[in-house]
């Protein structure tokens, strides 16, 4: 198909500044559009925003920290956060609000990092609180934390590449020459396009010891020194060796973290002081309140957020005789007081996103750090060689200072001073320039001797530096020494406790529901009443709407499940505990309203079960009977509504729930009666049309189906056919003697 083009009008073409082709609409293949427009955007997000690099930082972090370093905030006093954010915009043009948010997450006050890089003053919010927000940037102050010195130690020694900023007006580092594995020391998460990253933090002492052992022995078992992740909020890590091995070797896995608490016996309350890194106080409190409101937890009388200057604390007041340990087991199961950190160690390595395990990341970091040390060493070597070269020229002057002074004094043109010194002493231009720039007061033997004393030291240093560059083992020793220094300065004990061999208590939602005997009454108009035996004994007179009647009665327990089949071939699942306890003197709850049924939808039958055993029989007007196992309606998730509960090919007359196969009696409008065993009908899918059980003459249809019991009809063998389908037999006895419906 030829591209469609819309030409610009002559008037527009005549306008000043008209661009040829502007305004034309051209059809383009969607693949070309994605490749030309979407893919560059996706690559930009992956490479320049969301995925951290081997130095442990995203570009926004790196630009902010480098700006603070250039502002002298590593050793100087704190400055207003607004000034820092404004200065960072020279490197990061995304706006001061985004820059300030980035800084907040790296501050000591926010408590999101094990080793924060920004020392803060003021209100910066809390990582564990959704509602505690940071103050405006004009009110807060910040500077670099002491540990940030390890990020910039070699930055002025050509250890990394310096690149142009977004408008090519200044230089910024492509990576920071970090002296320890920051990529695993502090947690880092990000969502890109088509991929994401979620890196958990590890204890600095354990991480450095593991890195040192890998430098000494690349085959070192990292699990022997790196015990488990360590989160800034503490908590308890449920140790799972297999899952940790997955994280260590593949970069993917899940770490279960549990909150820590203390029980105050005098006040009869639980104080939660540490929570998983994936949740907040408010989220936990809201979930607990919901559990209490729905009656799933009865032991709690109050819950409140008491975080303040002392840090995080959520207090739960208990009712009398409540067991705090059992309650916490329930809360671990049904709230985010126990949660999982999903690891996805996606890191940019040489410009390409790669998912690596801890061992892979440390190998890449060692390679990166060795390159930094080699570049730093080469930079230092060149500086010392240049210094030695100058001093060797100065040493030659020592042989005859008077000659040097005479050459300079007798030279008529200033431009000839350097050439004359070169020819007079046999030195090169750089050396001669250095000699010519010496002040007159320094042209004495003492000065020159002091300067030339360093020549032997320089030669020794140069030889040593050249040996370092030729020996990877010496480079590794330097890295090990620096790592030990970092551990000594900034190492701290673990914050997250490791729990080994934890036996998780099997708790399901049923165990949260109070279990006691109840009577259920379902009416023809769709009302349900749940009445306790005590209340029923006090008053058994049932109040009903005019014309309504009770069609089903159950004696069961509060934990039972209910299946409400409707006239629209649907089934709604509920539980007895979800209906309120009531009295016989009230109408009860309207089932369609409680379960959210359609306006024209009505309940035709209620099935009660605790284990989904037995069968459901469906009798249709056309003489067919369908049979389905009740387990076909069981679902693993808490689905409230199931479609296609039974066939809609013929009108449904009656449905029955039977615990096991039994005899069934069918009755037709033409007076025919038939008795058959339900085992003669095979159990099929829920929406099965069934099999023909009774053959009907024209205009006849099935009118009823009941479970057969002795005494319902006389001469019952008359109504039991040898084969199905059958026409049944007429029962011409008196109606009172013919059948008793139970």
Which residues are annotated as catalytic? Answer: 139
Helices (H), 71-139: 81-88, 96-105
Per this entry, what is the length of the chain?
742
Residue 314, classed as helix, strand or coil, is strand
Paired residues of 355 in beta bridges = 346
Residue 542 φ/ψ, nearest 5 degrees? -85, 130
- Which residues, 6 or more positions from 14, have their beta carbon under 8 angstroms from its beta carbon? none
- For residue 423, CA distances in Å to 182, 396, 444 come to 55, 12, 21
DSSP structure class, residue 581: B
Cα of 430 vs its chain's centroid, Å:
61
Per the CB < 8 A criterion, the answer to whether 201 and 83 are in contact is: no
How many angstroms separate the first and last alpha carbons of the chain? 74
Euclidean distance between CA atoms 618 and 705, whole angstroms: 9
Euclidean distance between CA atoms 523 and 554, whole angstroms: 12
The CA angle 112-232-507, to the nearest 5 degrees, is: 110
The CA angle 364-366-372, to the nearest 5 degrees, is: 105
Euclidean distance between CA atoms 286 and 335, whole angstroms: 9
- Which residues, 6 or more positions from 1, have their beta carbon under 8 angstroms from its beta carbon? 27
- Which residues, 6 or more positions from 583, have their beta carbon under 8 angstroms from its beta carbon? 531, 535, 539
Residue 577 φ/ψ, nearest 5 degrees? -65, -20
For the record, the structure tokens of 216 come out as: 């000494």
Q: What number of helices (H) and strands (E) belong to the chain?
A: 23, 33
Burial grade of 302 (CB within 10 A; 0-12, 13-18, 19 or more): exposed
Pairing verdict, β 141-144 and 118-121: antiparallel
């Amino acid at each position: 198909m030829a591209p469609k083009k819309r030409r610009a009008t002559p008037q527009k073409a005549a306008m000043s500044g008209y661009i040829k082709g502007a305004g034309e609409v051209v059809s383009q293949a969607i693949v070309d559009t994605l490749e030309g427009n979407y893919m560059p955007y996706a690559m930009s997000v992956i490479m320049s925003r969301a995925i951290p690099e081997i130095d442990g930082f995203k570009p926004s972090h790196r630009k902010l920290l480098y700006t603070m370093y250039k502002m002298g905030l590593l050793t100087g006093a704190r400055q207003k956060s607004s000034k820092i954010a404004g200065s960072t915009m020279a490197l990061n043009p995304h706006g001061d609000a985004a820059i300030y948010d980035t800084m907040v997450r790296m501050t000591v006050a926010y408590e999101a990092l094990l080793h924060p890089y920004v020392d803060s003053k003021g209100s910066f919010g809390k990582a564990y609180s959704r509602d505690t927000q940071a103050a405006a940037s004009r009110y807060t102050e910040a500077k670099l934390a002491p540990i940030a010195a390890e990020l910039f130690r070699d930055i002025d020694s050509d250890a990394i590449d310096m690149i142009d900023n977004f408008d090519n007006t200044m230089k910024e580092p492509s990576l920071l020459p970090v002296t320890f594995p920051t990529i695993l020391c502090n947690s880092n998460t990000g969502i890109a396009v088509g991929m994401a990253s979620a890196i958990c933090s590890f204890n600095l002492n354990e991480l450095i010891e593991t890195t040192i052992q890998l430098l000494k022995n690349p085959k070192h078992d990292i699990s022997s020194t790196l015990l488990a992740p360590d989160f800034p909020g503490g908590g308890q890590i449920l140790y799972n060796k297999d899952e940790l091995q997955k994280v260590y070797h593949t970069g993917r896995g899940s770490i279960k973290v549990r909150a820590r608490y203390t029980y105050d016996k005098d006040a009869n309350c639980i104080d939660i002081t540490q929570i998983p890194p994936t949740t907040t106080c408010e989220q936990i409190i809201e979930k607990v309140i919901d559990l209490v409101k729905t009656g799933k937890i009865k032991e709690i009388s109050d819950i409140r957020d008491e975080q303040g200057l002392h840090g995080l604390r959520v207090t739960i007041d208990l009712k009398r005789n409540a067991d705090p340990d059992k309650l916490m087991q329930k809360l671990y199961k049904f709230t985010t007081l126990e949660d999982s950190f999903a690891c996805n160690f996606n890191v940019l390595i040489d410009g390409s996103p790669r998912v690596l395990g801890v061992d892979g990341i440390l190998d890449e970091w060692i390679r990166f750090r060795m390159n930094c040390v080699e570049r730093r060493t080469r930079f230092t070597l060149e500086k010392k060689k240049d210094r030695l070269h100058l001093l060797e020229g100065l040493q030659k002057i020592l042989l005859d200072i008077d000659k040097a002074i005479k050459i300079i004094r007798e030279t008529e043109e200033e431009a000839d001073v350097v050439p004359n010194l070169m020819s007079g002493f046999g030195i090169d231009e750089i050396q001669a320039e250095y000699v010519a720039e010496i002040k007159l007061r320094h042209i004495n033997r003492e000065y020159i001797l002091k300067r030339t004393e360093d020549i032997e030291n320089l030669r020794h240093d140069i030889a040593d530096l050249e040996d370092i560059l030729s020996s990877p083992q010496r480079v590794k020793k330097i890295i090990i020494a620096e790592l030990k220094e970092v551990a000594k300065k900034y190492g701290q004990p673990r914050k997250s406790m490791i729990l080994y061999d934890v036996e998780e208590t099997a708790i399901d939602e049923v165990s949260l529901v109070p279990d006691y005997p109840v009577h259920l009454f379902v009416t023809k108009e769709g009302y349900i009443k749940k009445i306790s035996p005590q209340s029923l004994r006090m008053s058994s007179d049932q109040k009903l709407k005019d014309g309504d009647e009770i069609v089903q009665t159950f004696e069961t327990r509060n934990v039972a499940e209910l299946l409400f089949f409707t006239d629209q071939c649907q089934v709604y699942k509920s539980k007895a505990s979800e209906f309120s306890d009531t009295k016989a003197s009230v109408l009860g709850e309207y089932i369609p309203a409680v379960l959210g049924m359609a306006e024209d939808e009505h309940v035709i039958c209620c099935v009660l079960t605790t284990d989904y055993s037995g069968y459901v029989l469906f009798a249709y007007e056309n003489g067919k009977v369908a049979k389905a196992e009740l387990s076909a309606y069981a679902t693993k998730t808490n689905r409230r509504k199931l479609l296609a509960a039974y066939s809609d090919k013929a009108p449904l007359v009656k449905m029955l729930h039977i615990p096991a196969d039994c005899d069934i009696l069918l009755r037709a409008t033409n007076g025919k009666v038939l008795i058959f065993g339900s085992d003669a009908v095979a159990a099929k899918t829920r929406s099965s049309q069934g099999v023909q059980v009774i053959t009907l003459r024209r205009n006849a249809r099935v009118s009823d189906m009941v479970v057969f019991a002795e005494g319902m009809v006389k001469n019952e063998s008359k109504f039991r056919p040898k084969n199905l389908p059958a026409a049944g037999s007429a029962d011409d006895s008196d109606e009172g003697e013919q059948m008793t419906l139970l």
